[in-house]
A = this chain, B = another copy of it.
Amino acid sequence: MKQDKPLILVTNDDGISAPGIRALIAVMAEIGTVVIVAPDSPQSATGHSITINDTLYINKISKENDIIQEYSTSGTPVDCVKLAVNEILKRKPDLCVSGINHGSNSSINVIYSGTMSAAVEAGIEGIPAIGFSLLDYSWNADFEPIKSFIRTIALEVLENGLPESVILNVNFPKLAKKEIKGIKICRQAKALWIEKFDKRQTPQGRDYYWLAGEFVNQDNGEDTDEWALANGYVSVVPVQFDLTAHHAIQQLNTWKWNEIANNN
């Protein structure tokens, strides 16, 4: 019977020992054959970084007869997906899930997120993929209230597939289960981080900086992920990796590009 189970690749960006991935593994083990390939150390905010100027290592953590096969790598979350598909699984899994991230990946955070970049990489490779994040940055975040949502979203994706070249970015509010009002399909809110670097000095007197900042939502739309999360809903944003601003092509074509070229 085991071969009828879906093959599910689990990864994250908080590192293989994070409680968030442990919760995700527990849910996925109920519905499929699980293989874990995750970074050996925290890789938050690594975005779609890949390792091209350095070597990559794979460490097998599970024993040969363990039901769940588990590997850590020295790479980024995106490296983990590439290594998993090409070197460890040697085939595409039926589903790739990333997370559960300790902290929000809503709105503009999607672009900085290692969790989402791993899911997007799987999507680029044609694998149905979902990133899960909980709006709680603490290591001791409580993932219990959201486990059943994750289970059913994963089962729906396994059953229905996803639209071509679309990845799901799922964020959960930090609420008790009974306080979660439901699931909303959303668009990414227009938001950004306003940096406030924290300037300090080394014991030797050299200046250095910590990146800090304030998240600013500039979007009042009630169809956004920020609205959904602030109002007690699970937000689901379909994400694409065609970054073309198609709406801008016509406007840019009104510029005199050939004259520009000819004047050179």
Residues of B within 8 A of A206 (CB): 57
- Give the copy number: 2
Asked whether A55 and B245 contact (CB < 8 A) given A258-B182, A260-B152, the answer is: no
- On whether the beta carbons of B208 and A55 are closer than 8 Å, the reply is yes
The 8 Å CB contact of A163, one of B42, B85, B197, B251, is B251
Is the beta-carbon distance between A243 and B239 smaller than 8 angstroms?
yes
Contacts of A53 in B (CB 8 A): 42, 44-45
Within 8 Å by CB of A261, from B111, B149, B207, B264, lies B149
A36 within 8 A of B: no
Interface: A166 (CB within 8 A): yes
Given contacts A244-B188, A263-B152, are A112 and B252 in contact (CB under 8 A)?
no
- The reply to whether B196 and A249 contact each other, CB–CB distance below 8 Å, is no
A50 at the A/B interface (Cβ < 8 Å)? yes
Chain A, range 234-264, C-beta contacts under 8 Å to B: 234, 236-249, 251-253, 255, 257-258, 260-264
Within A123-177, the residues touching B (CB, 8 Å) are: 124-125, 148-149, 152-153, 156, 160, 162-163, 165-166, 177
Contact of A160 among B83, B236, B255 (CB under 8 A): B255
Across-interface contacts of A56 in B (CB, < 8 A): 197, 208-211
Binding site for B on A (CB under 8 A): 42, 44-53, 55-58, 78-79, 82-83, 85-87, 108, 110-112, 117, 120, 124-125, 148-149, 152-153, 156, 160, 162-163, 165-166, 177, 180-185, 187-188, 190, 192, 195-197, 199, 206-211, 234, 236-249, 251-253, 255, 257-258, 260-264
Give 9 closest A-B pairs by Cβ, nearest first: A47-B48, A240-B245, A238-B248, A47-B47, A238-B245, A148-B264, A182-B261, A183-B257, A56-B209
